Amino acid sequence: MAAGGVPIAPEHTLTAGDTFEIRFPFAPEFNDKVTVGQDGTVAPKLIGGVVVGGLTVAEATTRLNALYAKQIRYPDLSLTIRAYAPEVFWVEGEVVHPGVVRSELPLTLERAIVQVGGVKTGAQTGDVLVIRRGENGGLNAYRTALAPLYGATDPILKSFDVVFVPQSAIGSVNEFLAGYVKNLPFSVNAQVGPATVPTSVLTAPQLGPRPVPVVP
């Protein structure tokens, strides 16, 4: 059980150092074995670079199958993990020891912040951002509050998530990301521009209910 009584998600999300096999029942000549890079990508021989960091095995299978379907008729591929690495997260902003966090088990938001020594005095714990790379290579940002001070749930993070604890309340998420994007530990395709975006709240065990899209 994670802090706050939220059950740990049973599924590992793919992270840097994971190795998995891609197998095709009807086209074994295209079978492949790949390792997730530090930026969350893999590079199967037939389709090239694909972002899988932060995805579950089922999500990665769906993404890869769609890409292989452009090259192989009815790929119907399977994905099997052969080597697991600790999941990787980043916690930044008004925390005692900002930086990378690695964990053998999935972490909740509150647990990740505990791993970096907690928040500093005066931190805006009611306006925390969780930043995640989206399927199209852009960013999704979620606003939440740390449990239990504000009665919020304690969401489970996905590998490659970036948690930012601000010193002062964040007005426009897009305007904040426009300045922060250069500090991200992974690359993004979308250009971040100023915009007014609605807030959304994280709920356990998955992030939701809606991502805040970055406006290109």
The predicted-structure confidence for 185-196, as pLDDT tens digits, reads as follows 877 754 443 332
pLDDT tens, residue by residue, 66-119: 999 999 999 999 999 999 999 999 999 999 999 999 998 888 899 999 999 999
What was the pLDDT predicted at 137? 67
What was the pLDDT predicted at 6? 31
Q: What is the CA radius of gyration of the chain?
A: 18
CA distance 64 to 83: 19
CB atoms near residue 44 (< 10 Å): 19
Q: Are 163 and 157 in contact (CB under 8 A)?
A: yes
The answer on pLDDT for 209 being more than 90 is no
pLDDT tens, residue by residue, 32-50: 999 999 989 999 999 999 9
What was the pLDDT predicted at 199? 33
Q: Is CATH 3.10.560.10 what the domain over 86-213 is classified as, yes or no?
A: yes
What was the pLDDT predicted at 150? 55
What was the pLDDT predicted at 156? 87
The answer on pLDDT for 202 being more than 70 is no
What was the pLDDT predicted at 124? 92
Task: Name the token pair of 135.
Answer: 């399927």
Partners of 89 in beta bridges: 101
CA 38 to chain centre: 13
What was the pLDDT predicted at 8? 41
Single out the residue of 187, 51, 163, 49 nearest to residue 103, CA to CA: 163
Q: Output 206 or 164, whichever has higher pLDDT.
A: 164
CA distance 216 to 213: 9
What is the average pLDDT value for the chain, to the nearest integer? 80
Return the CATH class of domain 19-83: alpha beta
Q: What is the pTM of this model?
A: 0.77
Domain boundaries in the chain?
A: 19-83, 86-213
CA distance 146 to 124: 9
Helix (H) or strand (E) holding 91: strand 87-93
CB atoms near residue 212 (< 10 Å): 20
